[in-house]
Structure 1
Amino acid sequence: MKSGLNIAFFGSSLVSAYWNGAATYYRGIIRALHGRGHDVTFYEPDAYDRQKHRDIDDPPWAKVRVYPAGSEDGVRRALDEARGADLIVKASGVGVFDELLEAAVLEIRSRNSRVAFWDVDAPATLDRVHNDPADPFRALIPRYDFIFTYGGGEPVTSAYRGLGARFCAPIYNALDPTTHHPVPSDPKFGADLAFLGNRLPDREARVEEFFLRAAAALPDKRFLLAGNGWHDKPMSPNVAYVGHLYTKDHNAFNCSPRAVLNISRESMARYGFSPATRVFEAAGAGACIITDAWLGIEHFLEPGVEVLVARDGDEVASHVRSLSSDTAERIGSAAKKRVLAEHTYDHRAEELERILEVPRHDRSATR
């Protein structure tokens, strides 16, 4: 009897989070699918120095196939290997040969396989195709069996349906409690407020508003910034910058400051219903989260009880100024309890199985 689905997944990288914010999302979903009896092969290009900055070795819960980024032959060989999988997934933002892959995964579909486009940045994709009717991906949308997104809620699903999608559903970010959990604090990550995020064009202005302006307003408080690309960004003296943060340090980073800040990228804030992976990772570690305001936050965490919400840098500064250690601990504990009950990757994998109409084959039950 077949144990589960054979899934071929084309994405940016499973083994490296270097300039790759989707890495922990991929890991959480795929590890959960493996635990539920499905076999995943993840195809990723050797691009952007990610293989030189691996966070993990090839995991036991997925096969990893790395293909050369510089020639079409490598991606063609990967596609040939993926042919015949039960489910073939093309994620957005692979980084090389995206346009080729978006069309080619549809060409290798067989009578017994289905093909999904998994959009890890749906607001950006939708803005792109709406602004350019000649975008090649636009004509391909109706040909996919499924469109999955990692956020966006009804605004995103409606937009995709308007473009002819047969089916569209969000599979939200979540928590993998085996990787993100409470650990002892580390003095090198001590701060009143910490923020982790790479410097990206549609994030920078919001980081200036919600993080750097709050830091400048509170010279007696300590602020901590992590992520790629901020080394030449002007910032006040009370901001410490630690550069790229490897995933092995995420728990200490979340557990050491009094609070951690979530800042949505501009497009995701505009669409709403797009909680970043960092929200669930920080909540799983029991961190007190301050987040920028976005539509739908209450579907994931209760404002004022499980998360603090700020509409601008002044409100971030107000939260930091008044936040006691006891209050921070109470909010962090409530957030952890909520995400463990409702927002783990096993919850997301179960939802995906319902959509795909496949039974669960829990590996643990056969051990």
Structure 2
Amino acid sequence: MKIVVFGLTISSSWGNGHATLWRGLCRALAARGHKVVFYEHDVPYYASNRDLDRVPGGELILYGAWSDIRARAIADVRDADVAMVTSYCPHGIEATEVVRAEHRALRVFYDLDTPVTLSRLSRGEAITYIGPRGLADFDLVLSYTGGVALRRLKDQLGARRVAPLYGHVDPDVHRPVEPIGRFTSDLSYLGTYAQDRQAALEALFIEPARRRPERRFLIGGAQYPQDFPWTENIFFVRHLPPPEHPAFFASSRLTLNITRKAMAEMGWCPSGRLFEAAACGAPILTDDWEGLDAFFTPGREILVAKSTDEAVAALDLDEAELLRISKSARERVLAEHTSAQRARDFEAAIEATRSDRAQPAREMMEA
């Protein structure tokens, strides 16, 4: 298939979770014979932190103004098998108009930020990547979030057919490597600063650091404010490009996952970091949310903390127990949560939708 995507970014992993997911998925799709043409608005903050300049097995089109590439986008969509618009696409509404005007390609919307989309909708806030017709013009809506979110996409945004397409990991990129001294920690946390994660970060990371001053804690990420409540045993590394993630995780005795508030409240929304860390062989401590046990078995493949006491208890586990948990998690990820598996999930959703779309025509011919 030729798959045309109008997305946020694939070229820069700075301050977003989209790029790494797209890289793994594009590589997996290319291995299965497909080609992805990815349209990305060329903005300064991504350009200055660009860590990829071509789509694996596909094509990257960077553009300044939508008017500059509209004609090319129309031509690509006209020649495509699948035309997709994603959440946070800077020209999502304009791209949707191009996609809905053509009828050869299967029209797909992929919301990689479903809880944020639905939260804004419930508050009456503008959603810049979805037009006034909602999602009614798409043949298929894919969601990074499962559970109740799928029904709400139908009920509130008019999606006709929905399917989950969860996070994933490319095990060729995220794998066990030798630890690196500057990343060594007893508890690490990798993530862009977000105010709605701060309360959980204080309970599960900062307060444990205060209680265990002899231990080393490490944060990797971007956009942390000057007034962040650092302690003497919390260390910081600025934004890490994806090639450094395996060493970061492999150097962690235990690593922490914290879910964005809207995603935690909705559930069924595993962070890509969960799969990345597990694939690198790091034991994981996470906050709790509905649906977690569909991806990892708590206590056997992942540790769950709802309080500072539980986080400290996880930190105090012996090496043998942490190793057992990390091995079990890695086995689960390699079996169920790789980019190759998500590529197969994507193909299945496309084929099912294509079959449904063709059914009325078959019925008319039979009549």
TM-score normalised over the length of structure 2:
0.90
Cα distance in 1 between the residues matched to 2:94 and 2:308: 42
| 1:255 equivalent in alignment to 2:250 | yes
Of residues 96-105 and 191-200 in structure 1, the stretch that sits farther from structure 2 once superposed is 96-105
Correspondent of 2:182 among 171, 182, 188: 188
Check 1:103–1:125 CA distance in 2 against 1; reply closer, same or farther (3 A cut): farther
CA contact (8 A) 1:120 1:150 kept: yes
| 1:67 equivalent in alignment to 2:63 | yes
Alignment partner, residue 151 of structure 2: 158
Aligned length: 347
Letter aligned with residue 120 of structure 1? L
Alignment partner, residue 338 of structure 1: 332
Alignment partner, residue 316 of structure 1: 311
SS, match of residue 135 in structure 2: helix
Letter aligned with residue 131 of structure 1? R
Letter aligned with residue 237 of structure 2? V
Correspondent of 1:10 among 6, 13, 18: 6
SS, match of residue 48 in structure 2: helix
Cα distance in 2 between the residues matched to 1:317 and 1:86: 51
SS, match of residue 53 in structure 1: coil
Alignment partner, residue 361 of structure 1: none
5+ residue gaps, structure 1, are 359-367
Cα distance in 2 between the residues matched to 1:14 and 1:267: 24
For residues 143-192 of structure 1, the C-alpha deviation after alignment (integer angstroms, 9 at most, x for no partner) is 111111112x1211011121221111111111211110000011111110
Cα distance in 1 between the residues matched to 2:283 and 2:9: 29
CA contact (8 A) 1:10 1:89 kept: yes
Correspondent of 2:35 among 36, 39, 51: 39
Cα distance in 1 between the residues matched to 2:38 and 2:286: 32
Alignment partner, residue 83 of structure 2: 88
Letter aligned with residue 275 of structure 2? F
Q: How does 1:103-182 map to 2 (within 5 A)?
A: 103-107=97-101, 109-110=102-103, 112-132=104-124, 137=131, 139-151=133-145, 153-163=146-156, 164-182=158-176
Cα distance in 1 between the residues matched to 2:266 and 2:221: 24
For residues 34-72 of structure 1, the C-alpha deviation after alignment (integer angstroms, 9 at most, x for no partner) is 11111110111111421221223314412111011xx33
Correspondent of 1:225 among 205, 219, 230: 219
Letter aligned with residue 132 of structure 1? G
Alignment partner, residue 352 of structure 1: 346
Check 1:343–1:192 CA distance in 2 against 1; reply closer, same or farther (3 A cut): same
Check 1:139–1:131 CA distance in 2 against 1; reply closer, same or farther (3 A cut): farther
Offset at 1:231? 4.9
CA contact (8 A) 2:100 2:138 kept: yes
Check 1:244–1:133 CA distance in 2 against 1; reply closer, same or farther (3 A cut): closer
Cα distance in 1 between the residues matched to 2:207 and 2:152: 34
Letter aligned with residue 42 of structure 2? D
Cα distance in 2 between the residues matched to 1:196 and 1:119: 23
Alignment partner, residue 275 of structure 1: 270
Name the % identity: 35
For residues 306-345 of structure 1, the C-alpha deviation after alignment (integer angstroms, 9 at most, x for no partner) is 100011233212211x222222111111111111111111
Cα distance in 1 between the residues matched to 2:106 and 2:350: 9
CA RMSD, Structure 1 to Structure 2 (Å): 1.8
Check 1:77–1:325 CA distance in 2 against 1; reply closer, same or farther (3 A cut): farther
SS, match of residue 274 in structure 1: coil
Cα distance in 2 between the residues matched to 1:270 and 1:78: 40
Check 1:140–1:187 CA distance in 2 against 1; reply closer, same or farther (3 A cut): same
Of residues 59-68 and 129-138 in structure 1, the stretch that sits farther from structure 2 once superposed is 129-138
Offset at 1:132? 2.1
Correspondent of 2:260 among 265, 271, 274: 265
Letter aligned with residue 167 of structure 2? N
Cα distance in 2 between the residues matched to 1:139 and 1:73: 22
CA contact (8 A) 1:55 1:246 kept: yes
Cα distance in 2 between the residues matched to 1:134 and 1:60: 34
CA contact (8 A) 1:210 1:313 kept: yes
SS, match of residue 45 in structure 2: coil
Check 1:30–1:41 CA distance in 2 against 1; reply closer, same or farther (3 A cut): same
Offset at 1:79? 2.4
For residues 272-292 of structure 1, the C-alpha deviation after alignment (integer angstroms, 9 at most, x for no partner) is 111100000111011100010
Cα distance in 2 between the residues matched to 1:140 and 1:307: 37
CA contact (8 A) 2:222 2:238 kept: yes
Offset at 1:264? 0.2
For residues 78-113 of structure 1, the C-alpha deviation after alignment (integer angstroms, 9 at most, x for no partner) is 52343211111111012x333333444323x22x21
CA contact (8 A) 2:26 2:56 kept: no
SS, match of residue 133 in structure 2: helix
Cα distance in 2 between the residues matched to 1:117 and 1:281: 25
Cα distance in 2 between the residues matched to 1:318 and 1:113: 53
Check 1:72–1:56 CA distance in 2 against 1; reply closer, same or farther (3 A cut): closer
